[in-house]
Amino acid sequence: MKFFTENSPAYLHLKGLCEALSADDEFQEMRRNLGEFKKDTVAAEQLKTLTEMGNVIRAKQAKKEELLPKEVEDFEALRVEFLSNPVAAAYVDSQEQLLNTRKFIGHFISKTIERGVPPSLKEITDIFENNQHCGTC
């Protein structure tokens, strides 16, 4: 695709966007939060256990099986414990912010491709405010 050669305007603008993101203080803080989480083996193990427990609960719900009160209580207790760890809470918040950043950029580009012109900032923020965005874009 000729849009994405080393000196094409599209490539240079995308590269500039990525450079601006990576230089942003808030972005750097989110990246630090992710790095700190990787060092916290207790929090990482808790997240692994939470994920496994959540998968079991969702599978039971999908099969319309009855959840045992202890399963829900254990899951909720671990979730509260996990989120009481400042490193884990910062990790979860940073993951969410980075996902929203990715979705925002994706929507902006998708709307431009769809319509042939860039959308306004309001159009994109309205998508988020009204929860009209899909889970994968």
Distance CA 13, CA 93 (A): 28
pLDDT surpassing 90 at residue 10: no
Tell me which range, 77-81, 123-127, 130-134, is most confidently predicted by mean pLDDT.
Answer: 77-81
Q: Is 87 left (phi over 0), alpha (psi -120 to 50) or beta?
A: alpha
Do 105 and 132 lie in one domain? The reply is yes
When divided into structural domains, the chain yields a total of 2
Q: Are the beta carbons of 94 and 30 closer than 8 angstroms?
A: yes
Do 96 and 111 lie in one domain? The reply is yes
| pTM higher than the cut 0.85 | no
pLDDT surpassing 80 at residue 137: no
- Residue 70 falls inside a structural domain: yes
The sign of the dihedral angle between the CA atoms of 36, 41, 42, 43 is positive
Per DSSP, the residues of 28-81 read HHHHHHHHHHHH-HHHHHHHHHHHHHHHHHHHHHHTTPPPPHHHHHHHHHHHHH
- Residue 63 falls inside a structural domain: yes
- How does pLDDT run across 45-66, given as a tens digit for each residue? 999 999 999 999 999 999 999 9
- Residue 18 falls inside a structural domain: no
Where does the pLDDT of residue 130 fall: very low under 50, low under 70, confident under 90, or very high at 90 and above? confident
